[in-house]
Amino acid sequence: MDPLETRELRYFMAVAEELHFGRAAERLGMAQPPLSRAIQQLERRLGVSLLKRNRRGVALTGAGEMLLHEGRAALDAITAAARRTRRAGGADSSGGTRNRMVLAVKAGASHDLLHKLLDAYAAEPDAAEIEVLPSGTCEQGEMLRDGRADVALMHKPFNSLTGFDSEELMTEGQIAILPAGHPLAAHKTLSLADVSDIPDLPLARWSRDGTYPPGPGPEIHDQTQLAQLIALGRTVAVFPDSARAWLWAEHTAVPLTDAPPVVTHIAWPAHSRSLALAGLLRTATRL
């Protein structure tokens, strides 16, 4: 009948994630009884049971899982609307001039491409002000979805472009970054197999949502950390070619022959229709 309220969605998401009314209520900063009631009302309203209450906690039904996924997308869209509206209203109060735009970039990646892009765009007539937002590991997608960013540089195959519009900007090979003195550093090229099986140099493991894939290598969540460990001869890493920009003297880069190429795209939410974005895209595709 009448539409879902965002409050109800927020409540349900909390319960669906915690699978526990008490903890969910705490997270929401409210008491448990009104939360229980709100969820019941939601279920009545939708005419669907969302949770199975076993006496020991709760579990999601099929409909519950659906609402968990779709609801997250909807909440993201709402916060995106609020964020982008605030951003659009911050500077201009009428004309559409001086729009600010946020560009998300994986920290340290595509450095000179980014530099050239920003310089070229700044030279455009009535260029918008661009704020560069360094993003953590592969979270540019979330940032576009929830409105923290308006446009992003994304790197296939690490980022997924599904749900966004994009233009291809650049393709590059990958390199292995080795300690300068290591025997393998003398090679002209290497294969993935070569670098994944070095007995004294386990491949570094990157943090993904705070968890790490299993393996022998050191746990990394920061490029500086990684650079240091490589320089100390403790690990080896595989990066796109443009990573040469931040290599140290103690590093040696060796091209990999069989690593998949990395394609840099500029991506934006599919429904975007802004002049500033159009200008940036024009600049980017002309580079």
Residues in contact with a copy of itself by the rule CB under 8 A? 3-7, 9-10, 46-50, 52, 61-63, 65-67, 69-71, 73-82, 84-90, 92-96, 99, 147, 162-165, 269-271, 273
Q: β-pairing, 237-240 with 174-179?
A: antiparallel
Minimum CB separation of residue 37 from DNA in Å reads 6
Minimum CB separation of residue 24 from DNA in Å reads 8
One of 47, 56, 211, 271 touching DNA (CB under 7 A): 56
Rule CB under 7 A: say whether 33 interacts with DNA. yes
Residue 21 interacting partner from DNA, a copy of itself, none (CB closer than 5 to 8 Å by kind): DNA
With beta carbons less than 8 A apart as the criterion, state whether 234 and 135 touch: no
Show Cβ contacts of residue 6 under 8 Å, excluding neighbours closer than 6 positions: 75, 78
- For the stretch 231-235, contacts whose Cβ atoms lie closer than 8 Å and that sit 24 or more positions apart, written own/partner, are 231/179, 231/180, 232/179, 233/179, 233/181, 233/182, 233/201, 234/201, 235/201, 235/202, 235/203, 235/204
Rule CB under 7 A: say whether 39 interacts with DNA. yes
Residue 282 interacting partner from DNA, a copy of itself, none (CB closer than 5 to 8 Å by kind): none
Rule CB under 7 A: say whether 3 interacts with DNA. no
One of 20, 83, 156, 221 touching DNA (CB under 7 A): 20
Closer residue to DNA (CB): 53 or 115: 53
Closer residue to DNA (CB): 3 or 183: 3
Rule CB under 7 A: say whether 48 interacts with DNA. no
Residue 275 interacting partner from a copy of itself, DNA, none (CB closer than 5 to 8 Å by kind): none
Place of tokens 């090229």: 189
Residue 10 interacting partner from DNA, a copy of itself, none (CB closer than 5 to 8 Å by kind): a copy of itself
Closer residue to DNA (CB): 14 or 277: 14
Rule CB under 7 A: say whether 30 interacts with DNA. yes
**Beta-bridge partner residues of 105:** 134, 153
CA atoms within 13 A on the CB side of 237: 27
Q: What span, in angstroms and rounded, lies between the C-alpha atoms of 197 and 195?
A: 5
Minimum CB separation of residue 54 from a copy of itself in Å reads 12
Closer residue to a copy of itself (CB): 146 or 241: 146
Binding footprint of DNA on the chain (CB under 7 A): 7, 19-22, 29-34, 36-41, 53, 55-58
